[in-house]
Every structure is written in C-alpha cells, then in structure tokens.
Chain A
C-alpha cells in the first residue's frame, strides 16, 4: 500500500516539477496576502508581535487551500480520475499519495514563507525557524488529512471554490487555535512544551482526522 502511494506521489511530484506554475502561484498568493496585511494593519513592532501568530496561520490556510483545489483537478483532464479509480490502486493509497503531495507542497512553501514573513512583519521569527517548521509539519498533517478528503469530495461539485473553504475552515477551528497559541508561546520564548495541552489537542486532531479521512475516503471515490 505504501508503495502504491509512493508511486502516485512520484507521478504527481514529477508533474508538478515539470511545470512549477502551481507552486509559484501558491507562493505568490501568500506574498500578496502578506502585502495586504502589511497595508491594512498598523506598522509598529509591538502590535506585530501580538498579531504575528494569527497572521502567519491565516496566510497558511488561505494559500494552502489553493493547492487543495488543484489536488484532484489534474486528474480531471482526459478522465484520468476514472483511470486512477479503475487501476488496482487501493483508495487508501490514493488518499495517502495525494495527502503526501499536499504536505510536501505546503511545507516547501513554508520554508520560503517563514523568511518572507519575518522579513515583512516580525524579524524575531527567523530565530525560531526549525521549531516553527516542525510545528508547521504537525499543523499541516491535520490540514492535509481533512483537506485531501474534502478536496476530493468537492472536485465534482459546482461552486467548489466557495464550498471547500466553507466546509473546511469551520472544521479547522481547533487546529487554528492550537497553532496560534503554540506559535505565541514559541515567540514568547517559552517553547512548545509550555503549551503541552494544546500540542496534545493538535496531535489528537491530526490522528483522528488522519484515520477518519483515510477510512471514509473510499466512499468519496466511487466510480
């Protein structure tokens, strides 16, 4: 099963590398959001320190959802989706492959977004680069499990660009809260361990939705 998922992942990565447009558009979208925040919010360091965690994760969510919209769109061309479903790949490995692709995409974006964010908003963030990347991984796991399920679900649906965030964002409230508070504690110097309860909630969210999404994904992908 893992091998099947890896095969699918390799195919998607190859496609993405061939034309970087997906990744670049997501990255520049994130930059545009940062610009909007920079213009819309007061320009002093104190308020930036207060707002940095929230802004960072909102940027993450808004640009991350772009990739979720694209995730199954590539399979729509030339009826690749039908071919994929007819192939001996199990539904679970399709889910894992797509989810892994989404995570790699978003984490690659985070690697570039963190320096950009600290450049525009909050320089001290750069000193927490690696812990923040680790935190991003944990947040991304929950985001991608639920996102891949709902992304697959909304592929065929009318107005999916509206429906996906409408379904996804309310469900992600626990994730966002935990991510914001953990980043706050990271910035304040207390470290992630200071908010262990939130970390547990975050990991719990990841595990629940990883398992549930994996299990119900087969109902979303029926021929």
Chain B
C-alpha cells in the first residue's frame, strides 16, 4: 500500500511546490523571476551533500558488516548524488549569468562542488571498470570513504585560496543578505519536497539495483549449467 501512496504523495508535494513557487511566493525585489531558480538550486546542492554523506556511511557499513545491501545503498546514493550535483552546478551557472554576470567563477563553494562532482564521477567509473562482485564493493567503499573525507580539506583550502588571494571581489556570495521570511519559508518547503523526492528515487534505485544483481546472478547460474 505504502509503495503506491508514497510516489503519489511525492508527486502532489512537488506539484504544489511548483505552484507555490510561481504563484504564491513573492518575486525578489532586485532579481525578479530569475531568483526563483533558487528553489531548484538550493535543494539540489543540499541533496548532493546528503547523498554523498549517505554513500560515505554506507561505505563504512559495507567494510564493517560486509553485507551487500550497504553496497547497493552506496552505489544508488552516489549515482543520485552525481545527478543532483550536476543539476546544482548547472542551475547555479544559469543563475550566475544574470546576477553575477558570469556563468562560472572560482568561488570557494563552486570549486568545492565541482571537485566533489569529479571525485564521485571517478567513483562511478571505478565501479564501471571493476567486474561486479565483492571486489567492486570493497574498492568502491574505500574510494567512497576517502573521497568524502577530503571534502572539508578541499573546502578549507579553496576558501583560503580565494579569500586570501582574490584580487577582485565583484562576486561576493550572498550569504550575509537578509533573506525575506517568505522566501525562506518557500525555500524550506522546496527543500522538503525535494528531499522526499530524493527518498523515493533512492528507494526505486535500490530496488532496481537489487533486481539487476539478482538477474545477473541468475544468468551466471544458468551459464554454469
């Protein structure tokens, strides 16, 4: 029953979120409609970090317990994380052009996110290049752990790199800006809607992966006859 209601609830929530973004939420004073991309951008970036953190935990879980479900979870989370990371960077670029007048700037957060994307693309490629099985799970778990541990180091180094050595501060990040309460509420609703969407995707992806692996095992059994 739940597996029928849950996707429906996610769908309704997302549609409601979309409606509220364009109908009810106020347009930002200086940016106008452009700012509305924030409701896609911020949840995507949040989900990126959530997904990679899940992948990190599942990787530790796999090396500890050696149960395949952790490996499946790590793989699924990493794939969805890469997807949202790419969406986050893309929407950020689209947003950056009208507001910062550039698609890309070597800002600390942008750079960290880009490096994170590269690390986890490497992680997925590693999975592609190693034959499925116990070895793939072990190798991927190791990369999932050391990759995530690097995030604070990368971020710290990039912050220093940009803040100590930047000659121009044309594009200051807007974190000090006072956020209008309406916008803040809208943002929270979007984050909630996308997080639910993420949960649904993750459940689907885990099921698919389980089915795929079961199928591969069955085929291998048939071939050994």
Contact = CB atoms under 8 A, between A and B. Distances in A.
A50 interface: no
Secondary structure dominating the interface of B: helix
A198 B165 CA distance: 13
B135 A156 contact: yes
* B118, B125, B146, B147 interface centre (most CB from chain A within 10 Å): B146
Contacts of B150: 171, 174
Contacts of A149: 142, 146
Interface string B152-169: 011011101100010000
Contacts of A198: 160
B138 interface: yes
Interface string A148-177: 011001001111100100110011011001
- Chain A's interface: helix, strand, loop or mixed, by majority? helix
B153 A222 contact: no
Interface residues of B, number: 30
A192 to B, nearest CB: 16
Interface string A185-223: 000000000000110010011001100110010011010
B143 A167 contact: yes
B63 A173 contact: no
Nearest to A216: B142
A160 B150 CA distance: 22
Interface of A: 146, 149-150, 153, 156-160, 163, 166-167, 170-171, 173-174, 177-178, 181, 197-198, 201, 204-205, 208-209, 212-213, 216, 219-220, 222
Interface of B: 63, 115, 118-119, 121-123, 125-126, 129-130, 135, 138-139, 141-143, 145-147, 149-150, 153-154, 156-158, 160-161, 165
Task: Give 9 nearest A-B pairs by CB, closest first.
Answer: A174-B157, A170-B118, A167-B122, A174-B153, A158-B129, A177-B157, A166-B122, A170-B119, A157-B129
17 contacts: A157-B139, A158-B130, A160-B129, A163-B122, A167-B119, A171-B150, A173-B115, A173-B158, A174-B157, A177-B157, A177-B158, A198-B160, A201-B157, A208-B149, A216-B145, A216-B146, A219-B141
